[in-house]
């Protein structure tokens, strides 16, 4: 159910205010780190794996498959320049294991975020209800409203 369709009494108002609220844990982790280094309060909201698309299902896993394919192609084409070698043997289990270890690194990221001072981690999704308010929906928990600090000026 969308946050706007929920009754006000179905949502817990925490009155928690954060200097910065980050939705998604991809590149936003760098922004969060910079804010935390300045002692600012932060919230991060992630509904999927921590680390973002690039780490968990995009750039990095793809490159971990492309590199062995490129290596095989180079080995096969090396005869053009006078290098003869047998066709490389492919160990799909090793390639796959390496890729999945990288994808599963998201668990390490999520674990490392727990207990950091000035950081609240929400494993769920967020929806704006007002310019500085969000309703956070986490599975198995009551929805809650959090606030962003609108007094920012630098």
pLDDT digits (tens, 9 = 90+) for 108-125: 888 989 989 999 999 999
Q: Is residue 45 part of a domain?
A: yes
Compute the distance between CA of residue 75 and CA of residue 68 in angstroms, rounded to an integer. 10
pLDDT tier at 27, thresholds 50, 70, 90: confident
Q: Is residue 153 part of a domain?
A: no
* Residue numbers of the domain that contains 140: 12-148
Q: Is residue 58 part of a domain?
A: yes
Residue 44 belongs to domain with CATH number: 3.50.50.60
Q: Is residue 103 part of a domain?
A: yes
Q: What is the mean pLDDT of the chain?
A: 85
Q: Is residue 1 part of a domain?
A: no
Cβ atoms of 45 and 23 closer than 8 Å: yes
Q: Is residue 87 part of a domain?
A: yes
Question: Within 13 Å and on the Cβ side, how many CA atoms surround 99?
Answer: 19
Q: Is residue 42 part of a domain?
A: yes
pLDDT tier at 3, thresholds 50, 70, 90: very low
Please check the confidence at residue 140 and state whether its pLDDT lies above 90: no
Q: Is residue 7 part of a domain?
A: no
- Sign of the CA dihedral running 24, 30, 36, 41: negative
Domains of the chain: total:
1
Scanning 38-104, the segments in alpha helix (DSSP H) are: 52-56, 59-77, 92-103
Pairing mode, strands 119-130 and 42-46: parallel
- What is residue 5's predicted lDDT score, i.e. its pLDDT? 46
pLDDT in tens, 63-118: 989 999 998 888 888 888 898 888 788 899 999 999 988 888 888 888 989 989 99
């Amino acid at each position: 159910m969308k946050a706007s369709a929920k009754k006000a009494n179905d949502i817990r108002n925490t009155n928690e205010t954060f200097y910065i609220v980050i939705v998604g844990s991809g590149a936003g982790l760098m922004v969060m780190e910079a804010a935390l280094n300045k002692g600012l309060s932060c919230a991060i909201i992630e509904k999927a794996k921590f680390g973002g698309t690039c780490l968990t299902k995009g750039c990095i896993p793809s490159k971990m498959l492309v590199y062995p394919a490129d290596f095989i192609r180079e080995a096969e084409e090396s005869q053009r320049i006078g290098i003869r070698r047998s066709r490389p043997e492919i160990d799909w289990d090793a390639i796959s294991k390496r890729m999945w270890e990288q994808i599963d690194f998201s668990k390490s990221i999520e674990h490392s975020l727990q207990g950091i001072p000035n950081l609240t981690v929400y494993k769920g999704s967020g929806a704006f209800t007002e310019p500085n308010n969000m309703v956070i929906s986490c599975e198995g928990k009551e929805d809650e409203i959090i606030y962003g600090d609108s007094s920012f000026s630098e």
